[in-house]
């Protein structure tokens, strides 16, 4: 029952994030159509709007890299999208604040009745899908806490129970490393937030261990991002490795700062009599601090990394179909990019057809090979996003 409740929370988290992006997809496209290759002020505002409306740091991050990899955007706007991606966590933070503070059954009932109604627009149904996901998250959390006795009985007075409740540094590092490793396999964002809330409110783990969980996931996401970008072209590899290192360092530093803030302000509680809402609020605020430090580190890097000189002659190594299959990319951003890629694909095919009328040796062999390789890569992308 406890595990089933946790899975329900994860399903609700997934659906709510998904439908936020669907509801605001029209606005996202309008900001993309206005262009990100413009003055710094307008670029920042439009990139910020795109990231916030996506409500998924992971999808904004990978989409920024994909737009650079496809040469739809330049280094500067792509790096800005990646640096701002962390701000897409706003909806998850709101979900955390609603945890144990709002009746999830009310939202489930409202969404259920609405989705059964025939005469309703697609946009309203998408909004109800958003409400449904939120309700599932809250109901799953409530059920998980009610079934916490099963977990407590299983742990009992074992050494594992004492280890989990230990808030000292070795235990925190263990949770941090475990969350980072799990994030290399589980691609659902912010699973650690749901797990940390469920375990924290039942006093199964300490406050510091809960912070180690959420920070470890952020680091694991960056390790996986570096691994996925290592096979791209030269510029993307450079940006991917630098961004991952800086962002992971920011998450670790944020965890250390959150632990210090909790100690200084005496935000930690060990008694089971603490109000769940207060404990949830304190934890979400500390998690927001971790994200804020990570975001500041990313923005500092972006000031320099986004202005680096790019070598125009690079191999055409594009991301594979797994990025779409694993839902790492923003559907709106990639649909918008498809129009730009289709235009460049037509231009490349035109140039390749013109090579037949030229004398042998007029166009260097390496340039011909690069054009052919790029055409093949673009064919695959256009086929995947057809």
Q: Which of 267, 287, 269, 266 is nearest to 196 (CA)?
A: 287
Task: Transcribe 284-318 into DSSP letters.
Answer: HHHHHHHHHHHHHHHHHHHHHHTT----S------
Rounded to 5 degrees, φ, ψ at 307 are -105, 5
CB count within 10 Å of CB 325 equals: 10
Q: CA-to-CA distance for 126 and 115, rounded, in angstroms?
A: 9
In this structure, are residues 76 and 303 in contact, taking their beta carbons and an 8 Å threshold? no
Q: CA-to-CA distance for 209 and 166, rounded, in angstroms?
A: 8
Q: Which of 186, 195, 175, 161 is nearest to 5 (CA)?
A: 195
Q: CA-to-CA distance for 288 and 255, rounded, in angstroms?
A: 10
Q: pLDDT at position 272, please?
A: 44
Q: CA-to-CA distance for 38 and 180, rounded, in angstroms?
A: 37
In this structure, are residues 334 and 324 in contact, taking their beta carbons and an 8 Å threshold? yes
Tokens of 287: 């998690």
Q: Which of 263, 171, 158 is nearest to 210 (CA)?
A: 171
Who's near 149: CB < 8 A, 6+ residues apart? none
Q: CA-to-CA distance for 196 and 212, rounded, in angstroms?
A: 9
Q: CA-to-CA distance for 335 and 341, rounded, in angstroms?
A: 10
Q: pLDDT at position 273, please?
A: 41
Chain mean position to CA 290: 15
Q: CA-to-CA distance for 385 and 196, rounded, in angstroms?
A: 36
Q: pLDDT at position 383, please?
A: 78
Q: pLDDT at position 354, please?
A: 66
Measured CA to CA in angstroms, residue 62 lies from 67, 228, 278 at distances of 9, 9, 35
Q: pLDDT at position 271, please?
A: 44
Tokens of 93: 């933070």
Measured CA to CA in angstroms, residue 120 lies from 111, 112, 127 at distances of 12, 13, 11
Task: Show pLDDT as tens, one digit a residue, over the chain (386 residues).
Answer: 788 889 999 999 999 999 999 999 999 999 998 888 888 888 999 999 999 999 999 999 999 999 999 888 988 999 999 999 999 999 999 999 998 888 889 999 999 888 888 778 889 999 999 999 999 999 999 988 888 777 777 776 777 778 788 778 888 999 999 999 999 999 899 999 999 998 998 888 889 999 999 999 999 999 999 999 998 988 899 999 999 999 999 999 999 999 888 887 764 444 444 577 888 999 999 999 999 999 999 999 998 877 766 665 566 788 888 999 999 999 999 999 988 888 887 877 776 776 655 554 555 666 666 777 777 778 877 877 76
Q: pLDDT at position 308, please?
A: 66
Q: CA-to-CA distance for 88 and 293, rounded, in angstroms?
A: 15
In this structure, are residues 29 and 336 in contact, taking their beta carbons and an 8 Å threshold? yes
Q: pLDDT at position 18, please?
A: 94
């Amino acid at each position: 029952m406890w595990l089933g409740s946790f899975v329900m929370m994860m399903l609700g988290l997934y659906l709510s994030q998904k439908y936020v992006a669907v509801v605001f997809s029209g606005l996202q496209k309008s900001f993309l159509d206005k262009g990100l290759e413009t003055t710094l002020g307008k670029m920042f505002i439009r990139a910020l709007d795109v990231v916030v409306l996506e409500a998924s740091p992971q999808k904004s991050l990978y989409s920024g890299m994909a737009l650079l990899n496809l040469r739809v955007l330049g280094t500067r706007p792509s790096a800005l999208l990646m640096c701002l991606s962390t701000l897409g966590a706003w909806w998850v933070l709101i979900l955390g604040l609603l945890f144990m503070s709002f009746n999830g059954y009310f939202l489930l009932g409202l969404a259920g009745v609405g989705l059964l109604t025939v005469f309703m627009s697609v946009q309203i149904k998408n909004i109800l899908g958003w409400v449904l996901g939120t309700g599932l998250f809250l109901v799953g959390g409530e059920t998980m806490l009610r079934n916490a006795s099963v977990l407590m009985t299983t742990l009992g007075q074992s050494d594992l129970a004492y280890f989990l409740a230990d808030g000292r540094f070795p235990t925190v590092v263990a949770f941090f490393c475990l969350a980072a490793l799990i994030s290399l396999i589980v691609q659902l964002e912010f699973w650690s937030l749901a797990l940390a809330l469920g375990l924290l409110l039942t006093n199964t783990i300490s406050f510091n261990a809960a912070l180690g969980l959420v920070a470890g996931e952020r680091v694991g996401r960056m390790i996986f991002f570096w691994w996925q970008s290592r096979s791209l072209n030269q510029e993307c590899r450079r940006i991917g490795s630098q961004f991952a290192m800086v962002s992971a360092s920011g998450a670790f530093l944020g965890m250390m700062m959150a632990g210090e803030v909790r100690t200084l302000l005496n935000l930690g509680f060990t008694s089971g009599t603490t109000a769940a809402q207060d404990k949830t609020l304190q934890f979400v605020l500390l998690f927001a601090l971790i994200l804020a430090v990570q975001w500041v580190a990313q923005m500092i890097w972006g000031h320099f990394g986004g202005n680096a000189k790019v070598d125009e002659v690079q191999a055409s190594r594009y991301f594979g179909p797994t990025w779409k299959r694993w839902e790492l990319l923003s559907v709106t951003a990639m649909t918008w990019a498809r129009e730009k890629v289709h235009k460049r694909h037509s231009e490349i095919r035109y140039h390749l057809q013109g090579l037949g009328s030229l004398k042998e040796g007029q166009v260097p062999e390496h340039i011909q090979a690069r054009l052919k390789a790029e055409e093949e890569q673009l064919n695959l992308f256009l086929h995947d996003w057809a």
